[in-house]
Amino acid sequence: MQLEFVPIEDFYFALTLAVRPLEDIGNEDLVEKVRSRLEFVCGEPSTIAAATQNNFNYVFIVRDGINSPAPKLIVSVADWQNKLRLSSDYGWVLDKERKPVRTELFNQRSDFAHQLRSHLETWLEVSLPKS
């Protein structure tokens, strides 16, 4: 899996309304460890929220990912209520009215989540507990 970081300047253009949570993992310690590693590897997050339930969001375009019929695949790694939230538009696409609808890949979201989780563990050198 090849992730291309989306910096804050480009976040709005990369975001899609079809991005939905894949899973929430861990606890505050894990969130801080992942945030620290992402900051070291990528720099500033794609977005910074001034809220207690969410402080950072790193967004990536998956360069070698397939999300047909959508033209690109987006992944988000954020904190949400003291857990690590992995989200993606995998299996979703926006219709003509910009409403998210499921695609044929929707049933494979759990497989994609497993691949993403595995990639993040290797890339960020962190262990993600089973959720």
Tell me the whole-structure pTM to 2 decimals.
0.87
Do 45 and 56 form a contact (C-beta atoms < 8 A)?
yes
The pLDDT value recorded for residue 97 is 85
The pLDDT value recorded for residue 87 is 95
Q: Residues 87-93: what's their mean pLDDT?
A: 93
Q: Which two tokens stand for residue 18?
A: 């079809």
CA-to-CA distance for 88 and 78, rounded, in angstroms?
A: 11
CA-to-CA distance for 83 and 12, rounded, in angstroms?
A: 24
Q: Which of 67-71, 83-87, 106-110 has the lowest mean pLDDT?
A: 67-71
Long-range (24+ apart) CB contacts under 8 A made by 59-62 are 59/5, 59/6, 59/11, 59/14, 59/15, 60/3, 60/4, 60/5, 60/6, 61/3, 61/4, 61/6, 61/14, 62/1, 62/2, 62/3, 62/4
The tens digit of pLDDT for each residue in 18-77 reads: 889 999 998 999 999 999 999 999 999 988 766 677 889 999 999 888 888 888 899 999
The pLDDT value recorded for residue 106 is 96
Domain ranges of the chain: 3-124
Look at the block and give the residue holding tokens 């993403």: 116
